[in-house]
Each structure stands twice: as C-alpha cells, then as structure tokens.
Structure 1
C-alpha cells in the first residue's frame, strides 16, 4: 500500500499558528533571490550549546559549511545556539509566520504540531540505532517529511540526537520501579507525558533553558536527553547518574520556513537538501565515534553510568504499553501500525 494513500489526511487539524517571534537576532532570510544568483543570508537556531559534540550544533554547523562551500559563499548561514531565536515552539511557529528562517528541532516538539511524527517518539519503539536509522531513512521517514506539506515548515532531513537516556540526581534507574514517583523533566508532548504516566513518573514539563537550574534546586529529580547533549551541556556538575534505558529515540528534523524554501531556485533547494543530508552523516558518525569516550569522561567527572545490560528492558516495554494504546487516536493508527510492522512488533 502506498504511503500517500495510507497516510493521507492524518495532518488535518494539527497546525497551530502563532505570531510569536523567534527572537531579536534572527528573522526572515535577507538578500536577493538566489534564483538571480545574488547573495542570501539564512539564520538557523537551536536551543543547545555551541559545542563541537552537540548534535544540534553539529547539524547546523555542517549544514552551514556545505551550503557556503557549494554556493561559493553566495548563500550564507548564521548559527544561533542556546535559544537565541527562542524556544523550539517559538522557532517552529516563527518558521510558519515568517519571523524565523531555519531551526534544528527535536522531533518530539514537531509532533506537538504534526501528530504523525509522534510515531518516532513512542517509547522503546526501536531496539537499536541501526533499526531506528533504517526506518527514518526509508519510505516511512520520507512519508513523514512529505506529510509536513501545508504546515508552513519544510523538513530537509532527519538528523539525530540518538537515544534519550535518563540523567538522574540521586537514583540509579534499572527497572520501572526505580522511576516510580520521581519528578522527571520532560518535553510537553502527549507521547512523552503518556509514556511517563505509564511508568508512574511525576512528569514535569519545562523549557530546556530552565532545566539546569531546576536540577540544581531539586525541583526535578532528573531528565531525559541524548548522551551527547548530556555530555556537552553541564550535567556532570549536577547529576550523579546516566541511566542507559534507551527510553526514546530522538530524531532532529532540520527545518526551514516553507516560504523561504519555495523562494529558492530548484538548484538551491537541492543544495540545501544535500547539505542537510551531509549534516546527518556527520552527526551520526560523531555520535558513534565518541559515545564510549563521552561515557568514560563523564565517569571520570564523577558520574555513575548504568549500562544498558543492567536495565530490565522487557519490564520497561511491558510497563509502557498503555502509552501505545492511548496514542493511537492522537498519532493515527495507520502511522503506529506501520512503524510497528517495520520494527517487527506485530510479529
């Protein structure tokens, strides 16, 4: 069955529009139309730090390098890390309304506007990175990209944060019982809230920029984030444990305002898509090459790393089944059933 037939109309009613601006440093792409061969400047935002191992930063940096190289500097890309262009919802809505050019997004936030993307956010949907990448890179991932048509935002490619691991202040997490009653910061998305609810967690939504202070003050007991993000954003000073639970897989859509994208020539549109694809490769390679050294460095800084082998994955998968049932009507049963078939969960 063709994806367009299977998934047609899933998006209806999923758009949210806002006049929120992305911030004073960003804005609409400046310069003349690149179709005329003149210069153009794009701004790309993300919420994490400008660290060479941070996947959001590396996605934006490699994208910038490739675009500027392939256009001889005719298209310039300026990076704005650390929420300079606003929170992720602000950047998404800014791309819709014309106040933000581009952003490296967290897929879970995108799913708040386009529920079908939540199929990639289901807890424990992927058994390993190889499986997750094959789904994201295949027809299913392309169907999700196509499904964004009409939202005002175009996805150029899915970059990668990796599996979001738990990071906790004082408690090692190996079983669902270890999580029960803890206050865990999470993104305010239906899938994440449902998954944590099934695990008995006191889920506490808050913006990324508020997290470190909340952990320091004990407002929350922990959070979830990719290893590379935990490594590059100051968590060893606050938390004692990284728990390799592999709770969620986190794709990072590299997005551009559809108005900006449609104003480009076909050749320049292809350059941007190719640059995004090269950024994805760079991020995945970096994540794979440095995962062990990141864990070793974090351990040297005093953190305890709970390896995946010590986590009761089967108990976690069983505990989150209510999330799948609850999300079926929100994400769409066709999307959920298709991804379950791709990963062998229906066998």
Structure 2
C-alpha cells in the first residue's frame, strides 16, 4: 500500500487508459474518455513524503460537477489536509481501474484500494442495499437523505461487514432521470417497447420489465456509442451525470420521472482499511462523510443551471409536475413483489415503513 501500491496503481491506470483509448472505456467517445483520464491523472501529483498512497476509482468522467468525480476530489483534498500529507490519494476516472463490478471484486481481494460506487451495483453483492434502489421508494431528496443518514443507512453499512469491502459513507448522485433520444416520457405507456440501457442488476431489470421496457444491460462505457448507433433509445442517470458526460450531443429529452434514487457508496477494501492505524481509519471515514455532504450541496447548487444549460443546448426538460407519478408507482408494484425475497422482507418492510410507501 506504500510505494509498491503506487507503482501497481500507475501500471493499472496505463493499461486501462490504453483500453479506453481503443474504444472500450468511458461514455462520451474515445476522445472524451482519453481527455477525462488525462485530466484525472494530472491531479495525481507525486508526494515523496506520503507514508500511504491510496487509489480511488470511478467510472464517470473527471468533470468538476460530476458527482462521482466531485466526491473523489473532495475526499482526496480532505484526507491529504487532515493527514498533513501522510496519506496521498490518487484519482482514476473513466473506468481506468475497471468497471464497477471489477472494482468491487478488486476491493474484495485487495487489488483495488477504493471506489466511488453506484449503490445499484453494490446491491448485486449485498442485496439489502437494494432497499434504496426500489423504484419511487422516496418522495423527495429530503426524505432520501434523512433515511440514508439515519439508523437505516447505518444498518446497511454495518450489514456490509464480512464482504471484504467497507463502506465509509453514502455520497449521492441524486434521482436517476430518464434520458431519451426521440420521445418524451410522461407516463408508463410512453415507455412501451423502448430499448433503455440499464445496469445489469435484478432490481433495475425487474422495474423496467414492469414498465414494459426492453431493458438492455450494458457497461457505462458503451452507452454513448450505443445511443449513437441506435442500439438503445435512452438510459437513466442522475442529472449531473447526464450534464457532464456528453449526452446533449445525442439525446433530445431529459424526463424528470425520479425513477430511482442513487446513493454513491464510498468504499474501501477492508484489508486495506484494516492495515491502517485507527487514527488514519478515522481520517478516511470523516473525509468520506464530509465529501458526501459537500457533494449533495454541489448537486443542489448546480441543478438549476445544469437544466438551463441543457435547454440552451437544445434538450427538452420534462418537468416532474408533468409526469403521471401515480401511474408509474402503480406500474412498478410487480417489482416490489418480485424483489422482496431477494432484498429481504425485513429490509423492504422497514424502508416502506420509513417512507410511508403502500403496497
């Protein structure tokens, strides 16, 4: 985890960057992916005085307002300040350390230090986390944050013990909105037969099946090319991710359906974490919590401007007020029934009670 880990991380980044430049990486096309990787790498300055160097990966671009990059950047700043330079953190954007499943499995084996994850992928390994991924489970961001920050969120963090991965905090992407090429979405019937890219997770696939969507699982790095070629008609992602990753060039609509809430677990390999002193463990946990708080604040502060900029670039923003939310909630009930045994009835019952969700 010291100098040998720095070298290993650098070699992994070079290899992954070469793969990205050949078209297998981050959404936004080859040029944008390469630029994002270069930008993130430029932020990794050598610190000969560091006793420990950690690498943190994520799949999205190194854009200032992207919530994954924002979280990682703030985490780096806070850790290096609190440790007075004893701990250095290097950032690897655009899937340079692998896809999210690859990073998760790398953290389990200790070959990947850290990652800013999408909760939906985490729930593939820790099904209880899927309680946060249920469609329309939260009425608004305030409710979601209160529950994630409370006892329920802490129970999910504790429940990850024994997986080989430790969750330091839940950062936030926000609500995942639909982004469609040629058709605005206001009701479930508007989705019938559309090919929508989704993460290959049981809950998302079940939700889209209930909505009559031809769900098309694929890696994030393949998405923009798939949209350009007509392989898919749309996707879901937080507004800030759509804004910072090249979607206005291809899609016409952002449909504020508030389909899924997207927490971003800030994770570290348990073997790496336990090799640190208690003092340094505390620094990492505090830094992750502070970075998560600042990410939420940035999401809130930039949302209105992002929508304005996207509109000026020719996109149409479908307001949540124009969406038939009740029809959507009714349509996804089969997902709740199907996923209860997968997530665990105790977790589903608890999240329903906390949110006042019926059904």
TM-score, structure 2 normalization:
0.87
The match for 1:218 among 211, 220, 230 is: 230
Q: Deviations for 1:2-25, whole angstroms, at most 9, x for unmatched residues?
A: xxxxxxxxxxxxxxxxxxx99812
Rounded to whole Å, the distance in 1 between the matches of 2:58 and 2:104 is 11
Change beyond 3 A, Cα 1:300–1:102: same
Corresponding residue of 2:113: 101
The match for 2:272 among 251, 260, 263 is: 260
Corresponding residue of 1:289: 301
Structure 1 segments unaligned to the other structure (5+ residues): 1-20, 28-36
Rounded to whole Å, the distance in 1 between the matches of 2:93 and 2:153 is 26
Structure 2 segments unaligned to the other structure (5+ residues): 1-8, 16-48
Contact 1:26 1:99 in 2 (8 A): no
Contact 2:50 2:85 in 1 (8 A): no
Corresponding residue of 1:181: 193
CA shift for structure 1 position 101: 0.1
Aligned residues: 318
Corresponding residue of 2:97: 85
Q: Deviations for 1:145-187, whole angstroms, at most 9, x for unmatched residues?
A: 0000000000000000000000000000000000010000000
Corresponding residue of 2:202: 190
Change beyond 3 A, Cα 1:192–1:173: same
- Kindly report which structure 2 residues correspond to 1:56-67, keeping only aligned pairs within 5 A, or say none: 56-67=68-79
- Kindly report which structure 2 residues correspond to 1:1-347, keeping only aligned pairs within 5 A, or say none: 24-25=12-13, 39-346=51-358
Corresponding residue of 1:34: none
TM-score, structure 1 normalization:
0.90
CA shift for structure 1 position 345: 1.5
Corresponding residue of 2:3: none
| Partner-residue secondary structure (3-state), 2:54 | strand
Q: CA RMSD in A?
A: 1.6
Answer 1 or 2: which has greater helix percent.
2
